[in-house]
């Protein structure tokens, strides 16, 4: 039906030039989805769905916010070192992730977690203190955090796929793209000697425990 409407809207020879028709045919698949009345999240069907989706978006936003603060803390310590540009590169991607979730939250009137002021400080302190252990410490922190965030995104992807993949197509695209970025950050950490950090396994487990607690709290508060 959507495709029929789209094709009909593209068959005005007096307005649409052949080159434009060729271009629109090339773009036909994405246009099926972009013709929806919302950009990423469909309007909820009932209160339960709204609450579940809001919880999901709230925790994702909190995670991206926390990641930004961690990289800010690492840059405060290692910004002028040789590792600075690498951390900056990952931070720049986190800024894009956060901007997207800021946009999604505003568009869907989702309240951010009340814990943001706490994540602001905790994230920065975690980033800076891991960087004080040296480049390896910062990378160990990155591996721990990014692994937790990737797993979290994977569980959301599974839940949305089981629920209604067509309905949540756009949201799934966003989460999958961000999950891939987080996995790249994780791999970057490993490639830059994260495992050589002092007390790597302890550090990683403690940070991941903190991530689990942060995810639990940010969904609810």
Ranked by CB distance to Fe ion, the top (closest) residue is 97
65 vs 200 by CB, closer to Fe ion? 65
Is 151 annotated in a binding site? The answer is: no
Is 33 annotated in a binding site? The answer is: no
Kindly state the smallest distance separating residue 1's Cβ from Fe ion, in Å.
Answer: 36
147 vs 182 by CB, closer to Fe ion? 182
Exposed e or buried b per residue across 147-164, where buried means at least 16 C-beta atoms within 10 angstroms of its C-beta: bbbbbbbeebbeebeeee
Is 94 annotated in a binding site? The answer is: yes
94 vs 147 by CB, closer to Fe ion? 94
Kindly state the smallest distance separating residue 211's Cβ from Fe ion, in Å.
Answer: 12
- Integer Cα distance of 167 and 153 in angstroms: 18
Is 146 annotated in a binding site? The answer is: yes
Is 23 annotated in a binding site? The answer is: no
Kindly state the smallest distance separating residue 167's Cβ from Fe ion, in Å.
Answer: 24
- Integer Cα distance of 45 and 189 in angstroms: 41
Any alpha helices (H) in 79-168, and if so which ranges? 84-107, 116-132, 135-163
Burial of 180 (0-12, 13-18, 19+ CB in 10 A): exposed
Identify which of 62, 115, 116, 67 has the alpha carbon closest to the alpha carbon of residue 95. Answer: 67
Q: Could you list the residues that contact Fe ion (CB under 5 A)?
A: 64, 67, 94, 97, 146, 182, 185
Q: Would you put residue 197 in left (φ > 0), alpha (ψ -120 to 50) or beta?
A: beta
71 vs 168 by CB, closer to Fe ion? 71
Kindly state the smallest distance separating residue 31's Cβ from Fe ion, in Å.
Answer: 28
**From the annotation, which residues make up the binding site for Fe cation?**
64, 94, 97, 146, 182, 185
């Amino acid at each position: 039906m959507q495709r029929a409407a789209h094709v009909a809207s593209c068959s005005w020879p007096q307005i649409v030039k052949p080159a434009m028709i060729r271009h629109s045919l090339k773009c036909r698949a994405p246009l099926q989805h972009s013709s929806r009345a919302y950009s990423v999240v469909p309007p909820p069907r009932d209160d339960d769905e709204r609450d579940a989706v809001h919880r999901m978006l709230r925790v994702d936003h909190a995670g991206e916010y926390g990641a930004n603060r961690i990289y800010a803390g690492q840059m405060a310590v290692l910004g002028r070192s040789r590792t600075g540009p690498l951390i900056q590169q990952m931070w720049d991607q986190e800024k894009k992730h956060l901007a997207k979730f800021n946009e999604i939250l505003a568009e869907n009137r989702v309240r951010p977690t009340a814990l943001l002021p706490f994540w602001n400080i905790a994230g920065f302190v975690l980033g800076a203190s891991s960087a004080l252990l040296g480049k390896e410490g910062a990378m160990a922190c990155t591996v721990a955090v990014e692994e937790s965030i990737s797993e979290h995104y994977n569980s959301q992807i599974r839940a949305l796929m089981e629920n209604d993949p067509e309905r949540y197509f756009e949201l799934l695209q966003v989460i999958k793209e961000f999950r891939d970025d987080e996995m790249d950050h994780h791999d970057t950490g490993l490639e830059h000697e994260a495992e050589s950090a002092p007390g790597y396994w302890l550090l990683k487990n403690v940070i991941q425990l903190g991530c689990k607690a942060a995810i639990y709290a940010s969904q609810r508060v």
